[in-house]
Structure 1
Amino acid sequence: MKTIRIAATAAVALAVLTGCGESGTTAAVSPDAAPTPATSTAPAQNISEPAVNDLMSEPTAAGAKAFLHHVFELKSYAQQTGDVEALLAALDGADAAVADAEAISQRYDDGGWILGGQPKVKQILVTTPAEEIAEGVEVDAVIPVNPDAYTAFNGEGEVEETRPFDPAGSIYSATAVYSDGAWKATYLEETPDAELPAAE
């Protein structure tokens, strides 16, 4: 009985996701419905794409921080919806981040979904001196992150992968460049052994 229920639920989830088409979740978001988080039987619904921060229009340290924070918001959104268009648009190169986004998209395309795993940014530490940051300059940062517990389901509603919550979290390293009026991440990868800069 349980297997039938899971299969039926997965079929409904697949129908909902297929209905989204190439426009991601835009068509699936109802203005009258509250956001619904993912569960062990169905993906999240009515999740809105994160808004852009005004600071992101500045080639400054604050602009870089705002942009990188937004990138992690877009990753969280992608994990909940399978819509990776905005996340990929924020990347230029960044092979590891692109591969991760494509894997998320493929999971949803196959009828699966992700429960949890959203990265919670603790802080963004820009290591490039503020006075050196300008248009066209590579800006480096290290980012301590605490991701939620993660469970990935396939199209049949079966658990394919799990990761427990780790209170120690992890660290990402990033490089971003401001050019032609916008920031792009040229490198973004989990680097758990990276050292955080000493507090000033």
Structure 2
Amino acid sequence: MYQDSAEGLASFTYYYFDAKNYALQTGDARLLRGIAQGCASCLAEADAIETVYDGGGWIVGGQPKALNVVPVGKQDKKGVLSALVPFMEDAGTTMAKGGKLVDSEEWDPDGTVLTVKAKYAHGAWQMLSIKETPDAQLPR
């Protein structure tokens, strides 16, 4: 995960989703925030998770599953590298204080593809962006 390489990016990407899973289960998004300081959508997800738990609610399910991480292209001069991630999420339910249903997402057996961009600097990776790109073609 700390290697400045495609393998390092892959390990870091799996770690990112583990951190997101931890935040979903506990409401503690500090780890997620720490590795995604430059990723606006990641920080927005962290905010949403914390808001649920801070209000006395909780989240059941919704665990992210990166099925593979396929680096694409070459790392640029700023240390940025992209990868395609075939991805699925478990069904999930968000409950408010007192057990009131707020939101429910069904499991999608087809999943999707995400494109992640991360930067290697100062001995570690930082997530820069995660976007759903269902039409992206995985290299063969």
TM-score by length of 2: 0.93
Distance 1:69 1:196 in 2: 20
What is the count of residue pairs matched by the alignment? 140
Looking at CA atoms only, which structure, 1 or 2, has the larger radius of gyration?
1
C-alpha deviations, 1:73-101, integer Å up to 9, x for none? 10011000000000000013211111011
User: Where do 4+ consecutive residues of structure 1 move more than 4 Å?
Assistant: none
Q: Which residue does the alignment assign to 1:127?
A: 72
Correspondence list, 1:63-74, <5 A: 63-74=8-19
Distance 1:67 1:135 in 2: 19
Q: RCO (CA 8 Å, sep 6+): is it higher in 1 or 2? A: 2
Distance 1:152 1:64 in 2: 31
Structure 2 stretches of 5 or more lacking a match? none
Q: Is the 8 A contact 2:114 2:134 kept in 1?
A: no
Q: Is the 8 A contact 2:38 2:126 kept in 1?
A: no
Q: Which residue does the alignment assign to 2:128?
A: 186
Please report the RMSD computed on the Cα atoms of aligned residues, expressed in angstroms: 1.5
Q: Which residue does the alignment assign to 1:6?
A: none
Distance 1:99 1:63 in 2: 25
Residues 180, 135 of structure 1: CA spacing in aligned structure 2 closer, same or farther, 3 A cutoff?
A: farther
C-alpha deviations, 1:96-136, integer Å up to 9, x for none? 1110111001100001010000011110111023xxx4884
SS across alignment from 1:77: helix
TM-score by length of 1: 0.66
Going by fraction, where is helix more abundant, 1 or 2? 1
Structure 1 stretches of 5 or more lacking a match? 1-55
**Percent of aligned pairs sharing the same letter:** 31
Q: Is the 8 A contact 1:135 1:177 kept in 2?
A: no
Distance 1:187 1:71 in 2: 12
